[in-house]
Amino acid sequence: MTVSKTKKHTTKKIVKKTATKKVSKKINKKPTKKITATKTVKPQRTKVICISHKEDCDGISSAALIRQAFGGDAILVDYPGQMEALNQVVLDEKLKSLFICDLGLSKKTQDEFIDIMTTLRKNKVSVTYIDHHDIDPNVLKELNKIKVKIIHDINECTAVLVYSAFKSKLNDHASFVAACAAITDYMETRPIGAKLLQIYDRQFALISATVLTYNIVGHQKEPDYLLYLVEELADSKFPHAIPNTFEFAQIQVEKLSQMIAKVKQGMKTMKNLGYMEILDAGASGAVNFVMGLSGKNVGVAYKERVDHGIYAVSVRGSKDCKVHLGKIVNILATNLGGSGGGHDKACGAVIPKPKIKKFITELNKQIK
Q: State how far the Cα of 351 lies from the Cα of 80, in Å rounded to an integer.
A: 10
Pairing of strands 149-152, 268-269: unpaired
Q: State how far the Cα of 158 lies from the Cα of 129, in Å rounded to an integer.
A: 10
Look at residues 74, 50, 60 and name the one whose alpha carbon lies nearest to residue 211: 60
List, edge to edge, every strand of the sheet that includes 73-77.
73-77, 47-53, 95-101, 126-131, 149-152
DSSP bridge partners of 213: none
pLDDT for the residue 43: 73
Q: pTM for this one?
A: 0.82
pLDDT for the residue 31: 54
Q: State how far the Cα of 212 lies from the Cα of 182, in Å rounded to an integer.
A: 12
pLDDT for the residue 283: 72
pLDDT for the residue 79: 85
pLDDT for the residue 80: 81
Residue 297's SS3 state is coil
Sign of CA dihedral 194, 244, 101, 311: positive
Task: Give the number of other Cβ atoms within 10 Å of residue 93's Cβ.
Answer: 10
Q: State how far the Cα of 206 lies from the Cα of 200, in Å rounded to an integer.
A: 10
Q: Are 278 and 263 in contact (CB under 8 A)?
A: no
Q: For 93, which DSSP code?
A: T
* Per-residue pLDDT tens listing for the chain (368 residues): 444 444 444 444 444 444 444 444 444 555 555 555 555 566 788 999 999 999 999 999 999 999 999 999 999 998 888 999 999 999 999 999 999 999 988 888 899 999 999 999 999 999 999 999 888 899 999 999 999 999 999 999 999 999 999 999 999 999 999 999 999 998 999 999 999 999 999 999 999 999 999 999 999 999 999 999 999 999 999 999 999 999 999 999 998 888 898 999 999 999 999 999 988 776 777 899 999 999 999 999 999 887 778 898 999 999 999 999 999 999 999 999 888 888 888 888 889 999 999 999 999 999 97
Residue 26's SS3 state is helix
Task: Measure CA 230 to chain center.
Answer: 13
SS (H, E, C) 116-170: HHHHHHHCCCEEEEEECCCCCHHHHHHHHHCCCEEEECCCCCHHHHHHHHCHHHC
Pairing of strands 273-277, 310-317: unpaired
Q: State how far the Cα of 275 lies from the Cα of 7, in Å rounded to an integer.
A: 111
pLDDT for the residue 5: 43
DSSP bridge partners of 300: 275, 315
What distance, in Å, lies between the first and last C-alpha atoms of the chain?
123
Q: State how far the Cα of 53 lies from the Cα of 113, in Å rounded to an integer.
A: 16
Q: Are 120 and 97 in contact (CB under 8 A)?
A: no
Residue 219's SS3 state is coil
pLDDT for the residue 53: 97
pLDDT for the residue 229: 98
Spell out the alpha helix ranges (H) of the chain: 2-39, 57-70, 82-89, 110-122, 137-145, 158-165, 174-184, 191-198, 202-218, 223-234, 245-266, 283-294, 325-335, 356-366
Q: State how far the Cα of 171 lies from the Cα of 162, in Å rounded to an integer.
A: 13
pLDDT for the residue 34: 54
Alpha-carbon dihedral of residues 70, 71, 73, 74, nearest 10 degrees?
A: 60
Q: Are 336 and 293 in contact (CB under 8 A)?
A: no
Q: State how far the Cα of 296 lies from the Cα of 306, in Å rounded to an integer.
A: 29
